A and B are shown apart, each in its own frame.
Chain A
Amino acid sequence: GNSVTQMEGPVTLSEEAFLTINCTYTATGYPSLFWYVQYPGEGLQLLLKATKADDKGSNKGFEATYRKETTSFHLEKGSVQVSDSAVYFCALSPSGFGNEKLTFGTGTRLTIIP
C-alpha cells in the first residue's frame, strides 16, 4: 500500500537557520505529493504541492522537489523564522486520484528559537 515516511522530530533550530525535513514515499504509479502545516490549535493548511516528477512546489520561502528516482519530497527553507514553528506533514495522493484521499506521514514538529 501507499505510505509516507518523515524524519523524526522534534526539530529545534535557531532563527535564520537552514531547514530540511526529509520525506520519502512508497506508492505505485505517479502520486501527487503535498506538504501541509498545522499551527497550534488549528487545522491543516496546504503549504505546497507537486503533481509530477521533477516539479518544484514553493510557497512562503519553502520549497520541495518531486524526485521520482529517490521517491522523495524533502522540504527546505533557506532562513527560518519564529513564525515557522508548527507541525509539518508530508502527504501523498494516489495515482489516479486528486487530493481527496491523502496518506500522511507522522508529522515533524519544528520549533524555531530567537
Chain B
Amino acid sequence: KAGVTQTPRYLIKTRGQQVTLSCSPISGHRSVSWYQQTPGQGLQFLFEYFSETQRNKGNFPGRFSGRQFSNSRSEMNVSTLELGDSALYLCASSLVGSASTDTQYFGPGTRLTVL
C-alpha cells in the first residue's frame, strides 16, 4: 500500500507570493492533518480535514488555508508569503482520525523556502 505522498518536495518562493502544497493520503484514509515544522517553533498543528470539512484548526493566521477533495486528497494554501513561513510542511493521514486506536501516518514533507 503506498504511503502518504506530498508534492512538491521542495519549493522556493519570494515574499508576497502564494503557494499551494498537495497531499495524497493513504488509500482509504479520510482524515488529513497538516503540520508546520520550523527550528524555532518545532512542530505545530495547522488544521485537519475529514470528509471535505475542516474539523480542527490550530492557531495560524488566515493566510493559511486548506481544503479536501472527495477523494480525500488535500491541498494547503499560504497567501502573501512571509520569510517566517519558511518551513517543512508535513501532511499526515489516518482512517478517521478521531479514534484513539487510529494511527497517523506522515508524509516526507514539502520544504518551503521564502526569499
Is the pairing of A and B real? yes
Q: Which residues of A contact B (CB under 8 A)?
A: 32, 36, 41-46, 49, 51, 89, 91, 93, 97-107
Q: A11 vs B108: C-alpha distance in the bound complex, in angstroms?
A: 24
Determine the main DSSP class of A at the interface with B.
Answer: loop
Known contacts A42-B108, A101-B56; can you find 18 more A-B pairs with CB under 8 A? A51-B101, A91-B43, A97-B56, A97-B98, A98-B31, A98-B102, A99-B100, A100-B33, A100-B97, A100-B98, A101-B33, A102-B35, A104-B42, A104-B43, A104-B44, A105-B42, A107-B42, A107-B43
- A43 contacts B97, C-beta separation under 8 Å: no
How many residues of chain B have a CB within 8 Å of chain A?
Answer: 30
**Is B99 in contact with chain A by the CB < 8 A criterion?**
yes
| Given known A-B contacts A104-B42, A104-B43, A105-B42, A99 and B97 have beta carbons under 8 A apart | yes
Q: A32 vs B104: C-alpha distance in the bound complex, in angstroms?
A: 13
**Is B48 in contact with chain A by the CB < 8 A criterion?**
yes
- A98 contacts B98, C-beta separation under 8 Å: yes
Q: List B61-115 residues whose CB lies under 8 Å from chain A.
A: 90, 92, 94, 96-109
Q: A76 vs B109: C-alpha distance in the bound complex, in angstroms?
A: 27
- B99 contacts A43, C-beta separation under 8 Å: no
What chain B residues lie within 8 Å of A41 (beta carbons)?
108
What 7 A-B pairs have minimum CB-CB distances, sorted nearest first? Answer: A100-B97, A43-B106, A104-B43, A44-B106, A98-B98, A51-B100, A100-B48
Q: How far is the CB of A52 from chain B (nearest CB, A)?
A: 8
